[in-house]
Amino acid sequence: MSGIVIIGAGECGTRAAFALRESGYSGSVTLVGAEPHLPYERPPLSKPMSGEVQMKLICTEDMLEAAGIAYLRGAWAVKLDANAGTVALSDGRILTYEKLLLATGARPRRLACPGAERALDFRTHADAEAIFSNIGEGRPVAIVGGGLIGMELASVLRAKGVTVSVIEAAPAILGRAVPPRFARKLHDRHLSEGVSFHLGHDVIAIDDDGVLLTDGSMVRAQLVISAIGVMPEMALAQQAGVATGNGILTDIHLRTTAPNIFAAGDCAAVSQPGGGNIRFESWRNARVQAELAARNMTGAAQAFAAIPWFWSDQYDLGLQVAGLPQPTHQSVVRSSPDGEMEFYLDAGRLVAAAGLGVGNSLAKEIKLAEMLIAAGASPDPAALADRSLNLKILLKSARAA
């Protein structure tokens, strides 16, 4: 079998397989996935609606069949030969390819302390089942890592009445991706919901009683969850001699350093126009890069230029961040009864925006802010701050200019 082979059947690999068909590709498409299920979405794992762990499928068996996508589930790609154009699978099969997409995603970073093996990860449906089948009132949980996944999990567990402690080595939670203004607001909300925090402390050991911290204190817990971030899954690429850094390195067209091999999604560190490579870990990025990789594998040469965007749900609050806010940016705040938006200007130009409000209440504003960023707008800060002024008006004048 030749044609296009995709390694990794997560959001990115699966979306790429369908996008190949949508772009008219008629050769063979083989999707190789290590997990035993049909491809599913990860975000719902930390947002269980009815209390049950959700398996939100990306596609059904029928959809794969109708699109002529050969899905090899439960199969690990174990060896890539970039010169021969072959991939060996864990079951002994060898696939040949004309083009290969590495969509291998990311795997949880592991704690390195004594007893680390007692901590559960949170990346897959199996991880979610293991966590949610082990919780209950009277079974306190310690979450190591105050990032987005850890804090989403904390909010879900509190809603179930579980006692939750969050341990974070940095002095504040959500420091990596969330603008400080909203990280503080979310922190306050978690406090008011009863989450206890242990900030600025590392973990020394995990044992039957819980988690021992660097200040000598013990955080009592029956269940410990490690949510200290992820590492790009790039073993296959490295073994094949494909260049890697903080991810599989690609150019702006998502081509790796090996001929006919592309990379996209959580595993890919994409070249930036200003220099360097950036790896994004978000659902939309996985889809956008998947679609771009599909087009470029079938003959296009389009550059990756999407505005980064992610969302997070904690309690009844929805956070959205578009662009990459930096401390050096000028900040403009717009408050409304629905929540708060913060805009980020770089030398007068709008480059990022974030919003925190109840549910999806700020979705429209964030969408308009994204359009303003894409239009290269340099709006008047006073107009941005004025909540009575519809962002559509600013967009109209940016486009007219």
Ligand X SMILES: Cc1cc2nc3c(=O)[nH]c(=O)nc-3n(C[C@H](O)[C@H](O)[C@H](O)COP(=O)(O)OP(=O)(O)OC[C@H]3O[C@@H](n4cnc5c(N)ncnc54)[C@H](O)[C@@H]3O)c2cc1C
The footprint of ligand X (CB under 6 A) covers: 7-13, 32-35, 42-43, 45-46, 76-77, 103-106, 122-123, 149, 233, 236, 265-266, 281-284, 286, 310-312
100 φ, ψ to 5°?
A: -125, 135
The least CB distance from residue 331 to ligand X, in Å, is: 23
The least CB distance from residue 372 to ligand X, in Å, is: 21
The least CB distance from residue 308 to ligand X, in Å, is: 10
The least CB distance from residue 209 to ligand X, in Å, is: 27
Q: The tokens 């990756």 sit on which residue?
A: 304
Q: Is 93 helix (H, G, I), strand (E, B) or coil?
A: coil
Nearer to ligand X, 230 or 341 (CB): 230
The least CB distance from residue 127 to ligand X, in Å, is: 8
Angstrom distance (rounded) from CA 227 to CA 148: 9
Angstrom distance (rounded) from CA 115 to CA 206: 5
Q: HSE, CB side, 13 Å, CA atoms: give it for residue 255.
A: 15
Nearer to ligand X, 123 or 184 (CB): 123
Residues in a beta bridge with 81: 86
The least CB distance from residue 292 to ligand X, in Å, is: 13
Angstrom distance (rounded) from CA 118 to CA 141: 12
Contact call for residues 6 and 30 (beta carbons, < 8 A): yes
Nearer to ligand X, 105 or 339 (CB): 105
The least CB distance from residue 188 to ligand X, in Å, is: 21
Nearer to ligand X, 284 or 349 (CB): 284
Q: How many CB atoms lie within 10 A of CB 211?
A: 27
Q: The tokens 């930036």 sit on which residue?
A: 272
Nearer to ligand X, 195 or 395 (CB): 195
Nearer to ligand X, 53 or 221 (CB): 53
The least CB distance from residue 75 to ligand X, in Å, is: 6
Nearer to ligand X, 65 or 91 (CB): 91
Nearer to ligand X, 77 or 212 (CB): 77
Nearer to ligand X, 123 or 189 (CB): 123
Q: How many CB atoms lie within 10 A of CB 230?
A: 19
271 φ, ψ to 5°?
A: -60, 140
The least CB distance from residue 339 to ligand X, in Å, is: 17
382 φ, ψ to 5°?
A: -65, -35
Contact call for residues 102 and 7 (beta carbons, < 8 A): yes
Task: Give one DSSP letter per residue of 290-359, joined into a string.
Answer: HHHHHHHHTT--PPP-PPPEEEEEETTEEEEEES---TTSEEEEEEETTEEEEEEEETTEEEEEEEEEET
Q: CA-based Rg of the chain, rounded to a whole angstrom?
A: 22
Contact call for residues 283 and 310 (beta carbons, < 8 A): yes
Nearer to ligand X, 319 or 351 (CB): 319
Angle ∠(49,55,57) on CA atoms, nearest 5: 120
Q: Is 116 helix (H, G, I), strand (E, B) or coil?
A: helix
The least CB distance from residue 56 to ligand X, in Å, is: 11
The first and second tokens of residue 141, run together, are 């949980």
